[in-house]
Amino acid sequence: MAVVAPLSGMLSDKVGPVALTTSGLGVLAAGLVITANLQAGSGLWLILASQALMGLGNGLFQSPNNNSVMSAVEPRQLGVAGGINALARNFGMVCGTALAVAILEHQRMVSLSGLSQPTPAQQAAAFMDGYQAALFVGAGLAVAGMLISCKRAGKPVAGR
């Protein structure tokens, strides 16, 4: 992410944010799906690749998205826009974490239902079921973001 974000920001200035934000969300979704499908015997290369894809996707998305927000306001409103953008990002991280934990725990409990004394192996499998469900929901939300980003392609920015 640290390598890609500055490059995507510069590229966004030249080609616009839509293609980069959309592709970033797609790469992020792919990384989430790969991570969700990792198994105990998955090789280190696959784990690293899935994490790299998520970082790449975030890097492709973040800078052009910020650019899009900041270029949609008048110069005198940049401080307010930056603050609202930071608030929305932090709110999304907090709510996303809460949603992921709720999904994980719900699926874990569903997987353990009917077991009066689950073994450690059953508990670990139930945790992984929940982890996988949370990652798939995250991937679905990234795909939904892609669709929203595609729909805004070519539309004029409000107030400009």
Give the tens place of pLDDT for each residue, 20-43. 999 999 999 999 999 999 988 899
Q: Is residue 157 part of a domain?
A: no
User: Residue 61: which of 159, 130, 146 has the closest Cα?
Assistant: 146
Tokens of 90: 């932090």
Instruction: Give the chain's radius of gyration (CA, Å).
Output: 19
- Write out the H or E segment, with its range, that includes residue 10: helix 4-15
CA distance 11 to 17: 8
Determine the Cα–Cα distance for residues 98 and 86; give it in Å rounded to an integer. 18
Note the pLDDT tens digit of each residue in 42-79.
999 999 999 999 999 999 999 998 888 888 899 999 99
- 156: in domain: no
Q: Which residues, other chains included, contact 123 with Cβ-Cβ below 8 Å and sequence gap of 6+?
A: 112
Please state, in angstroms and rounded to a whole number, the distance separating the CA atoms of residues 49 and 60: 16
Q: How confident is the model at residue 158 (pLDDT cuts 50, 70, 90)?
A: low
pLDDT, one tens digit per residue, over 102-131 is 999 999 999 999 999 999 999 999 999 999
Residue with tokens 């798939």: 136
126 and 112 Cβ atoms separated by less than 8 Å: yes
Kindly state whether residue 158 falls inside one of the protein's structural domains.
Answer: no
Domain total for the chain?
Answer: 1
Provide the domain limits for residue 90: 4-151
